Amino acid sequence: MSSYFAEIPPVRFEGPESKNPLAFRWYDKDRVVLGRRMEDHLRFAVCYWHNFVWPGNDPFGGATFERPWFQGGDPLAMAKHKAREAFDFFSRLGVPYYCFHDRDVAPEGATPRESLALFQAMTDELAAQQARTGVKLLWGTANLFSHRRFMSGAASNPDPEIFAMAATQVKAAMDATLALGGENYVLWGGREGYETLLNTDVGREMDQLGRFLNMVVDYKHRIGFKGTILIEPKPREPSRHQYDFDVATVYGFLMRYGLESEVKVNIEANHATLSGHSFEHEIAMAQALGIFGSIDMNRGDPLLGWDTDQFPNNIADTAIAMYHILQGGGFTTGGLNFDAKVRRQSIDAADLFHAHIGGMDVSARALLIAERMIQDGAMKAELDTRYAGWGSELGMGILGGTLKLEDLSARVLTQNRDVAPVSGRQEFLENLANRYC
Amino acid sequence: MSSYFAEIPPVRFEGPESKNPLAFRWYDKDRVVLGRRMEDHLRFAVCYWHNFVWPGNDPFGGATFERPWFQGGDPLAMAKHKAREAFDFFSRLGVPYYCFHDRDVAPEGATPRESLALFQAMTDELAAQQARTGVKLLWGTANLFSHRRFMSGAASNPDPEIFAMAATQVKAAMDATLALGGENYVLWGGREGYETLLNTDVGREMDQLGRFLNMVVDYKHRIGFKGTILIEPKPREPSRHQYDFDVATVYGFLMRYGLESEVKVNIEANHATLSGHSFEHEIAMAQALGIFGSIDMNRGDPLLGWDTDQFPNNIADTAIAMYHILQGGGFTTGGLNFDAKVRRQSIDAADLFHAHIGGMDVSARALLIAERMIQDGAMKAELDTRYAGWGSELGMGILGGTLKLEDLSARVLTQNRDVAPVSGRQEFLENLANRYC
Amino acid sequence: MSSYFAEIPPVRFEGPESKNPLAFRWYDKDRVVLGRRMEDHLRFAVCYWHNFVWPGNDPFGGATFERPWFQGGDPLAMAKHKAREAFDFFSRLGVPYYCFHDRDVAPEGATPRESLALFQAMTDELAAQQARTGVKLLWGTANLFSHRRFMSGAASNPDPEIFAMAATQVKAAMDATLALGGENYVLWGGREGYETLLNTDVGREMDQLGRFLNMVVDYKHRIGFKGTILIEPKPREPSRHQYDFDVATVYGFLMRYGLESEVKVNIEANHATLSGHSFEHEIAMAQALGIFGSIDMNRGDPLLGWDTDQFPNNIADTAIAMYHILQGGGFTTGGLNFDAKVRRQSIDAADLFHAHIGGMDVSARALLIAERMIQDGAMKAELDTRYAGWGSELGMGILGGTLKLEDLSARVLTQNRDVAPVSGRQEFLENLANRYC
Amino acid sequence: MSSYFAEIPPVRFEGPESKNPLAFRWYDKDRVVLGRRMEDHLRFAVCYWHNFVWPGNDPFGGATFERPWFQGGDPLAMAKHKAREAFDFFSRLGVPYYCFHDRDVAPEGATPRESLALFQAMTDELAAQQARTGVKLLWGTANLFSHRRFMSGAASNPDPEIFAMAATQVKAAMDATLALGGENYVLWGGREGYETLLNTDVGREMDQLGRFLNMVVDYKHRIGFKGTILIEPKPREPSRHQYDFDVATVYGFLMRYGLESEVKVNIEANHATLSGHSFEHEIAMAQALGIFGSIDMNRGDPLLGWDTDQFPNNIADTAIAMYHILQGGGFTTGGLNFDAKVRRQSIDAADLFHAHIGGMDVSARALLIAERMIQDGAMKAELDTRYAGWGSELGMGILGGTLKLEDLSARVLTQNRDVAPVSGRQEFLENLANRYC
Ligand SMILES: [Co+2]
Ligand SMILES: [Co+2]
Ligand SMILES: [Co+2]
Ligand SMILES: [Co+2]
Ligand SMILES: [Co+2]
Ligand SMILES: [Co+2]
Ligand SMILES: [Co+2]
Ligand SMILES: [Co+2]
C-alpha cells in the first residue's frame, strides 16, 4: 500500500554523537525534563498542508514536488492515498500530533452539500488512520482563504452570503475536530483584512469578525467541545493588513467583543517577526495578557518580507523562546506545531524527514537548555532583583491605588533629590544566557 | 528684542499662482470648507522641540544650527529668549497653536524643586507670550525620555522612585497645560518599552503603566481639566519595543485598564508607517474604535527604519488622510501638529518658514481635495454599495445575533449553491480618488 | 471572434474634466511635449504575463479570474485565442507596444523540440496580430524561472545541462524578438540567486552568469539584432538573494565581465523600493553610470515586503521619476512598460482597462508636470548653483588630477580657517517641486 | 593614575565550566586552531569611539555614562586621561589591537593648524601607550561625518573647499596610522550620500569620491604605507543613501575608478543586515570579488531599522560567518574589530568588560565550531558534489568560451529530453551545520 516513504526507517533517538542524518540526536521522548516527559512537554505536531498538499509552487514558479498523490485521478481516492501516506510519515517520524485544514484532507465538491459529504468521508478516514497509528489531532481548522469566493474576506466579506459560506465550513470543521478528539480549534484569517481602504470599512468588518467569533464560541459550548479556540495572529500577507495583526491587537479585539476569557492565541514565530516583534515577545505578551495557547514553531527570515515558514534551526533563539514558554507554565491544550515547509528545491521524500528531524532536535535541545536556565535560576534571580523596589511600601502604594499623582509629587519635592539609574546589565545577561547553550 | 526672524515678513495667502516662496499658495485661513473656516478645520500647531530645542545633531554628528538662543549664558534667560523667538515665529507664520514638553521650555534644575520653579517661571512667560500674540496651546506634555534617570523607563521603570519622579513632572505639566488653556494633554512613552526581554517583565511593566495612566485621568478630573488625554503610539525607537506600539495596541491597553472612554490617541504619520501601517489606516482604526483624538502630520520615509519626522509634501497621500479625518467628523479638541523638523542641513532661519509653509499648504490643498471627494460623494457611494448586502434580512440576522452558526450552515446547505465574488474595483477607485487631486 | 472585451469601446482622450472612467483624461498621444509627441515620449507597453497569463492566484489562494482562454482545451488553440484577445485589448486601449516571455505566448511542449515548435508557431501568430493591429514589440524575454528544472537557477544552476536548456530558450526568444521587430531584449533572473549559502558558491555562479550574458551579447551581434540587451535588477523574491540586486550591483557585474558598454538596465519601480532605493534613485544611478535603458513603471507598497506590481497612481512620485528620465534624455530604444497586475479581486474585464487607463493617465500627467519643471528651469538652476564651486580653479584642479592629497592639506593649513556649510534647502526644494504638480 | 577600571582584574581564560563572569570561557589565545594561535586567527580589536567617546546619548536622550574623562577641563588633558584609561582597558581585557578616528583621540581645535597640532600631540601619546602596553593599531581612520562642515558630505560635498578640509584630515590620519604601525587604513563615508535627490547630482558626487580615493591610494604609495586601504560599506544612516551601500556596490565603484586591486572592504555585520544581506553573504561576496579585507563583528537587530552596533551573541550565526572567513583563507592585514557599543543602560565600568568578554568568547567558540566544520569536511564535500557537473566537458566548454549560444541550443534539441532537477538539500545542510555547534 503506502510506499512513498518506504525507504525511510522509523526515526530513533541515537544521541548527540550519532552521525545518522535520519536519527534524532536530541529528541529523546521519554527523557524527563523538569518532571515531565519530553514528548509531553513539546507536544509536537506535523502540519498536513505544507507537507502533503503544497506542490512546491511559489509566486514565480510551478510545482516542484512529484508526490504520488498529486498524480491525478478520482479526487476522493487521491485524498485517501494522501491520508495514508501522511499517517505513514507521522508514524515513521514518531510525532504524537498532526493539524489540518478541512480542504487539506478533502477536496472541494461541486456544491456545498458535496463538499460536506467529501469532508465527512475523509473525517472517517482520518479517524481510521488515527486509530491505526495512535497519532492524535492537535487542532483542526477551516481554509477560508484559498477559494476565490473568499477573495474579499470570509467573515469580513462585504457579502453576508459569503459569511454564511464561511460559517458552514467552520461548523463542519469544528464537528470534525470534536469527532477526531482534537484538542484545539484554530482560526487564521488570511483574507480577514484588506488590500485598500478605498473599498473597505474597517469598523464594520471588525464587527462582522467579532460576531463570527462569538458564534464559534457559542457553538463550541453547545456541542461540548472542551478544547481551546485559538486565533493565529499575522500582520499581513496575503492581504495588505489583517485584523489579527499581532498578539496585542488580538487581545484588544477579544476585549472589544467580550471574548478575552474564551479565546487564546496560536503564536507563529514567522508571523511574530513579520509584525516587527521577536517570537519571545509575542509569547511573553500573550502570557502577560492571559491568552497564551499554542505555537507554530516555524521561523522566517528577518531579511525577507514574506512568510517563509522555515523549520527552526537556531539553537539559541529557540532556547529563549522555550524558556519563556516554560516560565509561563508550558502548554496545556496547546502544542508545538511545525507550520513549516521544506524549501521548494528540497524535492526528495527524505527532505521531509530531514526538515522535521532538524526542527524536533533543535526544539528538544532548546528544551534542555531552558531546563538548565530554570534549574540554575540565575536569570530569574536577576529579574527579581531588578524589580525588587516594587515590593516596597512606595511600590505597593502605587500599584495598590492608595497613592495619587499629587502624593507622589509631594514626596519627590519633599525628598528633593534625584534618583540614580541602575545598569540594565544587558551584555552580562546575554553572556549568562549563552552559558546554558 | 526678538530678531532672529526679523527679515521674514508675516506670511500671507497669495494664491496658487504666487511664486513667492514665503507666501501661502493654498492655506487661506478664512476660506470656508464644508461649512467651517480652514483655520478651524486644520487647527495647525507648531512644535517647540524640533524647531527651538533641537540643535541639528543626529546619531553621527553634532549641532548644525547656530540659533542665538543656543549661545549659552543663564539658562532661564536663554529659555526666555527662546520663548520670545518661538512666539515671534508662530506669529509671523500665522499659526493658531503650539505644543511643548516641559523640558523644551524650561531648563532642568539641580533639584526637583528647582526644576519645578524654573518650569513655573517659564509657564508665566508662555502665558505672557500667548497673551501678546494670541497663539494658543494645542497640547502640553512632559519629557520623560531624555534624562538619564528615565533610561530604563518612566512609569514602567523597575524602580518606583523613578515612577514618582515621572509623576511629579506630569503633575506639573498638567497644571501648566490647564493654566495655559491647553486643549489636550499628551503622553508619549519613548522609554516605556524595553531593549531586551532578558531584563524585562512586560506584564509587570504594563500594569505600572496602566496604573500611571489611571492616576493621570483621575488627576485630570480632580483639577477640572476639560481637555482630552491623548496617547501617541509609536512602535519602537528609542527602545526596541514600546508598549504604545500602534492604535490597536493602545486600544487593548486602554480596555485592559478601564480607560477606553477616557483616553484617545494622537496619531503620527511617521509612527504609523514605522509600525507597518499607513497613516490613514491608523486614523480609520482609531475612528472605528472610538479613540481618534489628534494628529502629528509628519511623514517618515518608508525606506528608512527610523523616525525622520519630515513635513508632509505628498499631496495625494495627505489628501486621503484628510478625507478620513473629515469622514470621521474632523477634530474636536484635537488638531494638526507638525512634530516635524527641518533637515539638519537646512540651517537658515528661512528654512523653518519654508518647511512650515510647505506643510501647511500641502495640508490645505489636501483639505480642498477632501472637500471635493465628500461633495461629489462617489467614493462613499461605492463603499455603501459594496456593503449593501449587510442591510438584508440575512445581514441583520447575523449582526443582530439571532442567527447561530448552525442556522447559517443549514441555510447554505439548503440553498446548495456557491456565491459568486464581486470585483473589488481597486484600480477604478484609485483612479476615482486621483480625479479629485 | 474575439469577444471578451467587446463591451469596452476604444479608449479616447476626453480631457481632465471627463467623468468617463473608460476615457483618458491626460494621455493625449499627439500632444507635443518638449518637442516630441506624448506617445513617442512615453512609449507605453502592456505586459502579456500579468494580464493574459496570471490567473489571479497568490501564495494563499487559487485563481480568481475566469478568462475564456483559461477554459482548457488544446493548448495551442488556447494560446491563439489568448493572443487574439490580448491584441484586441492592446488595440482598444490604444497602446503602441507590448512585451512577452516565451512561455506567456506559447505552451511548453513535451520535449525541447516540441516547445520550440509551439513557440515558433506562436511567433507567427504574434507577427500576424502585430500586422493586423499595428501594435509593436517593445521587448521579448525568456521565462527561466517558472519551470521546476530552473528551481536552482538557469545560467547559475549547479548543472551545466540546465544552463544549456536556458541557452536554448534564450536563443529562441532572441530569434523571435528579432523576427517580430522587438526593440530590446530583457533578462530577468528570478532564480539566478540562492536560498542558502550552505549549498551555494556565489563566485562560481556569478562566473556562470557572466559567461551566459557574454554568449547572449555575442549572439545578438552575430544575428544582427540592433536592439538593446537589458538586465532587470531585483534584490530578492523568489530567491533569498538575486545576483542582479540593484542598478549599482548590475553595474559592477557588467564591469567584471566586460559588458558595461553592451548591456543596460530595465528599472522597475517596485524592484527599486524592494532593494531599499527610490525609483528615481535607480534611474539617476543608471544615468550616472551610463546604463539607463528602459523602465517597468509599476510601484510596490513600501510597507509590504514583496513585489505587488501595482499600477502607478501617485502623481507627485511619478512626476519626479519622469523628470529624471527626461533630464537624462528620455528613452531611446527603451519604453515605459507596465509590469503591473490588477489586484486579484479586480476580476472584471473592465478592471484591466481601469488599471491601464489609470497608469497611463498618471504617467501622462507626470510628463506634463516634468515638462513644467524643465521649462521653468528653477529646479536645475538650484542644483547648478549648489555645485558651482566645482567650476573654480580648486574644483578643476581636484577633479583634473593636478592636485594631490598633500597639496590640499597644505592649502588648508595655509588658509587656516574653517569653511562654513551652506543650507541644503531641502524643504524649499520640496515646495518648489510641488509647485509644478 | 589610571583608576576607572581598577577593580577589574586582568581577564583570564578559565574554560567553559567557569562561572566567573569576568573570565573567558572560550577565548584561549594560545590554543592552536588549524595550525594558528587563536589570537593570530581572530586578531581582535577594540574600538575607541563607542567605548571611550560616546556618552550614552541617543536620538531621544542625553548622556548616561559618567566616565571620569567626560568631566570637563582642558581638552588635551582630558584626551590624555581618556587614552590612559583606554589602554588600561585594552590591557586588562587582553586584546591585541585597537582602532580609532582622529577626532576620537584628539579634540578639534579652533583652526586647522590647531586641530593638526592637537592630533599630532595625541599621536605621540598613543605611541607611548602602545609602547607601554604592547597593544597595536589595527586601523586608523578620519571622522568626516560629525562636524557640521561635513553635513553635506566630505569628498562628495558640493563645495570643493570642504573636500580639501577632508583631504587634510585624511592625510594627517594616514600619517598617524603609518607612524603608529597601523596595519590598515579605513574610510567610512557616513555623509558621502544624500538626503534628497532634489539637491544632489549623484554622478558628480561619485566622481568626486572616486577622485578622493585615488588621491588616498596615491598618497599611501608615496609615503610607503604597506597596510591595506579599506572601505566600510553601509547602505544608509545617517544619510538616506550612502555611495558605499554594500560590498557589490563598492566593487562596482572600485572598478569604475580603477581601484579594484588597491582597495578592499571592511565588512560590518550590522551594515550587512541593514543593506538586506546576511553577514556571511557580504563576506562570501567580497571573497568572490577579491576584495575581502577586515570585519566589524557587531550585529544589529534585524527587526530594527538602524545601526544598533551590538556585540555578537548568537553562536550559530557567528560560527557560519567564521566558517566563511576561514574558507576564504582568514585574515591577512585585517582583523576582527568590535565596532560595538554597550547599551546606554549598561552604565557600569564592568559592563564594558562583560560586553567584550561575551563578544570575544562567542567569536572564539565560533572559531572552534568552524574548525570542526573544516576538519570534518562534509559541508564542503556537499558543495563540491553539487557543482561537480561543471568539471565535465560541457561545463568546461561553456566556461572556457568554446561553446556558443547556438551550440548549446543544438545540443539540447539533439538530445531532445528534459533535465531533471536535483534536491537542494537545504534542511539536511542546516542540520549538518548544527551538528558542529
Ligand atoms: Co506562516
Ligand atoms: Co502558522
Ligand atoms: Co516621530
Ligand atoms: Co509625534
Ligand atoms: Co516586480
Ligand atoms: Co518588471
Ligand atoms: Co554600524
Ligand atoms: Co563599523
pLDDT single digits (tens) C120-163: 999 999 999 999 999 999 999 999 999 999 999 999 999 999 99
- What is the percent of chain B where pLDDT is above 70? 100
Which ligand approaches the C-alpha of residue D189 most closely? 8
C-alpha cell of residue A394: 512606595
Provide φ and ψ at C353, rounded to 5°.
-75, -45
Q: To 10 degrees, the CA torsion angle through B321, B324, B326, B330?
A: -80
- The answer to whether A398 and B160 have CB atoms below 8 angstroms apart is yes
C-beta separation of C29 from C13 below 8 A: yes
**Active-site residue (options: A41, A50, A81, A101):** A101
Residues 262-281 of B with CB under 8 A from A: 275-278, 280-281
Q: Taking a C-beta distance cutoff of 8 angstroms, is the pair B65, B347 a contact?
A: yes
The answer to whether residue B1 scores a pLDDT higher than 60 is no
Chain A, window 341-380: residues with a beta carbon less than 8 angstroms from a chain C beta carbon:
343-345, 347
- Name which of D383, D406, D417 is nearest C111 (Cβ-Cβ): D417
The C-alpha cell of A178 is what?
A: 470534536
**Residue B425 in domain:** yes
Our CA dihedral for B403, B407, B408, B410, rounded to 10 degrees, sits at -160
What cell numbers appear for C229 in the block?
A: 540587451
Q: Is residue C17 part of a domain?
A: no
Residue B296 pairs in a beta bridge with B268, B337
Nearest chain D alpha carbon to B148: D64
Query: Is residue B12 in some structural domain?
Result: no
Calculate the CA dihedral of residues C261, C263, C264, C270 and round it to 10 degrees: -150
At D194 the three-state DSSP class reads strand
Instruction: Report pLDDT digits (tens) over B342-397.
Output: 999 999 999 999 999 999 999 999 999 999 999 999 999 999 999 999 999 999 99
Residues A287 and A422 in one domain: no
- The catalytic residue among C28, C104, C175, C361 is C104
Q: What is the pLDDT of residues C239-264, one digit of tens each?
A: 999 999 999 999 999 999 999 999 99
Q: Do C59 and A306 touch (CB under 8 A)?
A: yes
Same structural domain, B258 and B293: yes
Distance C115 CA to ligand 6 centre (A): 24
Look at residue D4 and tell me if it is in a domain: no
**Residues C289-324 as b or e (16 or more Cβ within 10 Å = b):** bebbbbbbbbbbbebbbbbbbbbbbbbbbbbbbbbb
Return the biggest CA–CA distance within chain B.
Answer: 84
**Nearest-angstrom CA–CA distance, A419 and B112:** 10
Q: What is the grid cell recorded at A4?
A: 512513498
On chain A, the residues whose CB falls within 8 A of the CB of C305 are 274, 304-306
C385 belongs to a structural domain = no
CA pair distance B386, A196, nearest whole angstrom: 13
For residue B51, the CA-to-ligand 3 centroid distance in Å is: 14
Query: Is the residue at D7 inside a domain?
Result: no
- Note down the domain range covering A430: 392-435
What are the CA-CA distances from residue D53 to residues A167, D61, D67, D79 (Å)? 63, 16, 10, 10
The closest ligand to the CA of B267 turns out to be 4
Binding residues of D: 232, 268, 271, 296, 307, 309, 339
Distance of residue D55 Cα from the nearest chain B Cα, in angstroms: 11
Cell of A60: 514565480
Distance between D346 CA and the closest CA of chain B, angstroms: 10
Helix, strand, or coil (residue C294): strand
Q: Which chains touch A (3 or more CB pairs under 8 A)?
A: B, C, D
Residue D410, C-beta contacts closer than 8 angstroms, at least 6 positions apart: none
Phi (first) and psi of residue B129, to 5 degrees: -65, -40
Low-confidence stretches of chain A (pLDDT < 50) are: none
Residues in chain B, overall count: 437
| Gyration radius (Cα) of chain D, Å | 24
Torsion angle (degrees, nearest 10) of CA A62, A66, A71, A75: -70
**Phi then psi for C68, rounded to 5 degrees?**
-60, -30
Three-state secondary structure call for residue D176: helix
Q: Examine the domain organization and report whether A141 and A217 are in the same domain.
A: yes
Chain-chain contact of D427 with A343 (C-beta, under 8 angstroms) = yes
B132 in a domain, yes or no?
yes
Residue A339: is it exposed, middle or buried by C-beta count within 10 angstroms (0-12/13-18/19+)?
A: buried
Give me the pLDDT at residue A305, please. 97
Question: What is the residue whose three cell numbers read 499600477?
Answer: C311
- Secondary structure E strands in C285-366: 292-296, 336-338
Q: Tens of pLDDT along C20-75?
A: 999 999 999 999 999 999 999 999 999 999 999 999 999 999 999 999 999 989 99
pLDDT value of position A1: 52
C-alpha cell at B14: 497669495
Measure CB to CB from residue D354 to each of A276, A316, A428 and give the nearest one.
A428
* Secondary element (H or E) of residue B141: strand B136-141
Q: In this structure, are residues D360 and D315 in contact, taking their beta carbons and an 8 Å threshold?
A: no
Statement to judge: residues D318 and D420 lie in one domain: no
Report chain B residues whose CB lies below 8 A from the CB of C273. 302-303
CA pair distance B253, D284, nearest whole angstrom: 46
Q: Report pLDDT for D2.
A: 54
The half-sphere exposure of C197 on its side-chain side, counting CA atoms within 13 A, is: 19
Angle at D259 between CA D258 and CA D264, to 5 degrees: 155
- B242 at the D interface (CB within 8 A)? no
List D residues 93-132 in contact with B (Cβ-Cβ < 8 A).
Answer: none
Residues C234 and C261 in one domain: yes
C363-395 CB burial, b ≥16 within 10 A, e <16: bbbbbbbbbebbeeeebeeebeebbebbeeebb
Rounded-to-integer distance, Cα B108 and Cα D61, Å? 14
SS3 of C65, please?
coil
Q: How many CA atoms lie within 13 A of A229 on its CB side?
A: 23
D295 phi/psi in degrees, rounded to 5: -135, 150
CB contacts of D236 in chain B (<8 Å) are: 304
C-beta of residue C323 within 8 angstroms of C-beta of residue C372: no
pLDDT for position A2: 54
Q: Is A13 helix (H, G, I), strand (E, B) or coil?
A: strand
CB-count burial class (<10 Å; 0-12, 13-18, 19+) for C21? middle
User: Same domain for B368 and B392?
Assistant: no
The Cα C323–Cα C330 span in angstroms is: 9
Closest CA to A287 of D304, B232, B238, B197: B197
Q: Is D46 helix (H, G, I), strand (E, B) or coil?
A: strand
Kindly list the residues from chain A whose CB atom is less than 8 angstroms away from the CB atom of residue D277: 303
- Which of the ligands is closest to the CA of residue B265? 4
Per-residue pLDDT at C2 exceeds 80: no
CA C19 to chain centre: 31
Instruction: Tell me, yes or no, whether A161 and A297 share the same domain.
Output: yes
Nearest residue to A289 via CA among A259, A332, A322, A317: A259
Contact B262, B217 (CB under 8 A): yes
Q: Is the pLDDT of residue C1 over 90?
A: no
Mark which of B376, B396, B421 sits at the end of a domain: B376
Residue A33 parent element (H or E): strand A32-33
Do residues B394 and A169 lie in contact, with contact meaning Cβ atoms separated by under 8 Å?
no
Q: Residue C301: nearest ligand to its CA?
A: 5
pLDDT of B187 > 70? The answer is yes
- CA-to-CA separations, C146 to A70, C231, C296, in angstroms, rounded: 19, 18, 20
Asked if residue A10 has a cis previous peptide bond (ω within 30° of 0), the answer is: no
Nearest chain B residue to D149 by CA distance is B64
D179 three-state secondary structure? helix
For residue B77, CA distances in Å to A125, B122, B125 come to: 84, 10, 11
C392-408 mean pLDDT:
97
Q: Is B334 in the same domain as B430?
A: no
Residue type, D288: A
* Mutation target among C26, C346, C430, C437 for the B interface, most CBs of B within 10 A: C430
Residues A327 and A405 in one domain: no
Here the CATH number for the domain that contains residue D349 is: 3.20.20.150
Contact indicator for B295, B336 with CB cutoff of 8 Å? yes
Q: What is the mean pLDDT of chain B?
A: 98
ipTM here: 0.98
d(CA B236, CA B306): 9
A401 shares a domain with A360? no
Q: Which residues of B touch D107 (CB under 8 A)?
A: none
Given a cut of 70, the residues of chain D with pLDDT beneath it are 1-2
Residues of B in contact with A406 (CB under 8 A): 171, 219
Contact list, D343 vs chain B (CB under 8 Å): 195-196
CA angle A226/A228/A233 to nearest 5° reads 165
Q: How far apart are CA A150 and CA D100, in angstroms?
A: 60
Nearest Cα of chain B lies from the Cα of D198 at a distance, in angstroms, of: 13
**Residue C173 belongs to some domain of the structure:** yes
Residue A217 CA to ligand 1 center (angstroms) comes to: 24
Please report where in the chains the cell 516587527 appears, as a residue: A276
Question: How many residues in total does chain D contain?
Answer: 437
d(CA C98, CA C141): 12
What total of structural domains would you count in chain C? 2
Chain C from 138 to 167: CB within 8 A of any D CB: 148-152, 158-165, 167
Residue A356: active-site member: no
How far, in Å, is the centroid of ligand 8 from the Cα of D142? Answer: 13
Cα-to-centroid distance, C193 and ligand 5 (Å)? 16
Dist. CA D55–CA D63, nearest whole Å = 5
Say which of A104, A175, A246, A361 is annotated catalytic. Answer: A104
Alpha-helical runs (H) found in D290-348: 315-327
Examine the domain organization and report whether A232 and A315 are in the same domain.
Answer: yes
Q: Are residues D210 and D291 in the same domain?
A: yes
Q: Cell 544611478 sits at which residue?
A: C285
> Is A101 in the active site?
yes
Around ion ligand 5, residues with a beta carbon closer than 5 Å are C 270, 307, 309
